[in-house]
Amino acid sequence: MKYISTRGDAPVLGFCDAVLGGLADDGGLYLPQTWPQISQDEIASFANKTFSEIAFAIISRFTGDEIAPNELKAIVEEAYSSFNHPSITPLVELEPSHFVLELFHGPTLAFKDVAMQFLALVMDHILVKRQQRATIIGATSGDTGSAAIEAFRGRDNIDIFILHPYGRTSEVQRRQMTSVLDDNVYNIALKGNFDDCQTIVKGLFGNKKFRQRTALSGVNSINWGRILAQITYYFKAASDLGAPNREIDFSVPTGNFGDIFAGFAAKQMGLPIGKLNIATNENDILVRTIDSGKYEASGVKPTTSPSMDIQVSSNFERLLFEALGRNDEDLCRLMDSLKQSGGFSISKDVLSVLRKDFAALKADEDQVVATMKDCYLQSGYLIDPHTAVGVFVARGLKDSDRQMVSLSTAHPAKFPDAVKNATGVMPALPYFLADLFEKPEQYDILENEQKVIEKYILDRTRA
């Protein structure tokens, strides 16, 4: 299996290089050259398989001959052994023919664990084989950082440096990062805001000498390895509900479009999905795009679902490439327009291609509160604000002939204040995090200056 860039001007790579590289050299995103097909019979056989068995069946189609089957099997099993539910991603029936897919049973209580636990092991595996080391750098406003730190802690050949804005993350989020004391984990509390953290990380990637010296690698949601690991739970949920004999719709709380693009990938591979519903909060660039064909960036509005507070949605480029019939020249034209004028228009034909697979709706802050409250009053079920966006949109777009699955992307205890405001109930942390507030913390407070961060990393990385 080979990987090509959406912008058509980067080397064609195998699985290992595509995953270690993250972004393509031409600024594009890597995609498999063709979509592997899973037959209807094989999908039917998933009904009796465990999550890890299904995950192995899916992922092995994409690794080709670059990772030996027995080694991949061990990686997948180890990745999901860190989850605190025997089904890994269980389905809960919220109301008739509407199910919630709980993706938050990983170590940091967010769906990002599903991808990150796999990615960390697979990257470490590749580096150990090649006798190389790498440095991971990332900026976080909370969720991504903790999922990455938890996944990369203690890995042999990787050091991880995560920048968070000093004093501006919630206490739960900070402690989930800073209470990890492994030698290869470095928490940097930057004297600045989240944008400053991102600017510094971009600057570090932009410094070619530094990048090469530290063997810098990224694990943000454009990394193909993350999308790949998210395809698994679409197959698992659909087969739990009777695939391939039934078509199922999904509602996906969406920010950077990684999670929902994995659903699109599952559909390309033969999973009978009806509609993929793009659920956004008030940062609704994707809803406006599906409505009008105009993709236009606007400012970021802070909401109670911060992991979906985005200005542009980076993985949407992958979908556009597909909708354009994989024409990289047309795609580059749109991306140039985005860079130069902050937006682009999609032709009528391409828009109708998008609307075949996708519908989109937003939930405003009042609707999010009402949905959290209603789910609690109706069935005693607590959901977090991100999940509430998805549930609201699922209800709004539900087709009476098909079953709907709403993806639950975070545990309610990850956003306790918003949940308490809406329902009056303070969600409890699960038992394995109960001591979070007693654990010692380790982090360094650093000036908002790229040079300072560079020196800090150079002094510490083993790469």
Ligand X SMILES: *Cc1c(COP(=O)(O)O)cnc(C)c1O
**Site residues (vs ligand X, CB under 6 A):** 110, 112, 143, 221, 253-259, 307-308, 386, 409-410
Contacts of 85 (CB under 8 A, 6+ apart): 102, 105
* CA dihedral sign, ordered 282, 283, 287, 293: positive
DSSP 8-state secondary structure symbol assigned to residue 288 = H
Q: Which is nearer to ligand X, 255 or 270 (CB)?
A: 255
DSSP 8-state secondary structure symbol assigned to residue 399 = -
Coil, helix or strand for 386? helix
Q: How far is the CB of 278 from ligand X (least distance, A)?
A: 9
CA distance 23 to 161: 18
Residue 294 is a catalytic residue: no
Q: How far is the CB of 183 from ligand X (least distance, A)?
A: 27
Neighbouring C-alpha atoms within 13 Å toward the C-beta of 4: 12
Length of the chain: 463
Q: How far is the CB of 143 from ligand X (least distance, A)?
A: 4
Q: Which is nearer to ligand X, 5 or 254 (CB)?
A: 254
Q: Which is nearer to ligand X, 89 or 461 (CB)?
A: 89
Q: How far is the CB of 353 from ligand X (least distance, A)?
A: 20
* Residues 147, 148, 150, 151, Cα dihedral to 10°: 110
- Asked if residue 290 lies in contact with residue 355, where contact means CB atoms within 8 angstroms, the answer is yes
Q: How far is the CB of 418 from ligand X (least distance, A)?
A: 12
- Which one of 49, 112, 209, 236 is the catalytic residue? 112
Q: Which is nearer to ligand X, 284 or 328 (CB)?
A: 284
* Residues 43, 4, 127, 210, Cα dihedral to 10°: -140
Residue given tokens 């979908």 in the structure block: 319
CA angle centred on 311, ends 309 and 315, rounded to 5° = 95
Q: Which is nearer to ligand X, 157 or 303 (CB)?
A: 303
Catalytic residues: 112
